[in-house]
Structure 1
């Protein structure tokens, strides 16, 4: 796993790039992406959905890391180029299914006691991360991404 602050230290000629607090080197999403992926496997998405520990190089990892610093209720979705091999309709259907499943998961978390506790801890984490005081525990950077294999037509 590439960690953004390590890259900044490695590729920061003359010290001109902004620094991130070492406490925020590893951030996590509050969504349960494993459960989300399992649910999406049965949802009939035209594009298969998998989880990954790597949002990608350059801007993808930076965007995801920066977004997680703002709010841990964040995911990053890699979408294949249109027509390679999926149509715009297939991609839009899959992304909208992911978004709806995330909203449903967030709603379910706020309904149950365990979910409210997780929601509160994520709220606390969000405030800590936003102030540069994030947790130092081992948090994985995870991205939901669309794989390259084909699936059934739902949309």
Structure 2
């Protein structure tokens, strides 16, 4: 494998409840067709709407691929925009999953912090994508919903020291097509990678400056 390539994992969820076709997985499959360019090694994974599956799958993704970025995508029946989630929450998981299960502790990581923020500047990503003329509305949120979306996001943030992202999409046709959502994910993830690159350059420059000035 090309060592200069960056590994990016994007997950979508399987069917649940009224979402017999989960818009998040449709969007992720459209993204896979579009790709993220030759410099990115993109892997897409469908995640079942089950707490215990998430608890085993998410750590294995980080261990197996050592990705630069993991972006989880979920559907929100209330959303009318593509929504960038800033943080994941540890407590408050009372909703039963597809196997009629919910954690006894009602939390993701026993003893973990209440909330973990992504290191990615979602406000900046939102502004840049919104200004790009994509034709898809993008917004930012601090509440991923205390169900499998939030549970997955927190777990991933905890494992990656914040190097994860979560994107909520509206159901297909309300108002966007699967292709629209795929194009939005492509633009968003490219901006996230760009933001990561800029932050790493700043850290590197700061480190060099401190070395030369000491």
Alignment TM class, shorter chain as reference = 0.5 to 0.7
8 Å Cα contact 1:47/1:94 also seen in 2: yes
- Alignment RMSD: 3.1
Three-state SS of the structure 1 residue aligned to 2:143 is coil
Alignment of 1:41-120 (within 5 A): 41-71=130-160, 72-113=162-203
Residue 19 to residue 70, structure 1, CA distance change in 2 (3 Å): closer
Q: How many residues end up aligned between the 2 structures?
A: 114
Structure number with the higher strand fraction is: 2
Q: Alpha-carbon deviation of 1:58?
A: 1.3
8 Å Cα contact 1:109/1:116 also seen in 2: no
Residue 18 to residue 100, structure 1, CA distance change in 2 (3 Å): closer
Question: Does residue 120 of structure 2 align to residue 34 of structure 1?
Answer: no
TM-score, length basis structure 1: 0.61
Return 5+ residue gaps in structure 1 as ranges: 118-155
* Structure with bigger RCO (C-alpha 8 Å, 6+ apart): 1
Residue 19 to residue 53, structure 1, CA distance change in 2 (3 Å): closer
Structure number with the higher helix fraction is: 1
Residues 13-50 of structure 1, C-alpha deviation per residue, up to 9 Å, x if partnerless?
A: 8x577772434221111011111111112011222111
Partner residue in 1 for 2:6: none
Q: Distance in 1 between matches of 2:88 and 2:203?
A: 35
8 Å Cα contact 1:109/1:115 also seen in 2: no
TM-score, length basis structure 2: 0.46
Return 5+ residue gaps in structure 2 as ranges: 1-86, 95-101, 208-214
Q: Distance in 2 between matches of 1:20 and 1:77?
A: 21
Partner residue in 1 for 2:21: none
Residue 95 to residue 19, structure 1, CA distance change in 2 (3 Å): closer
Three-state SS of the structure 2 residue aligned to 1:24 is coil
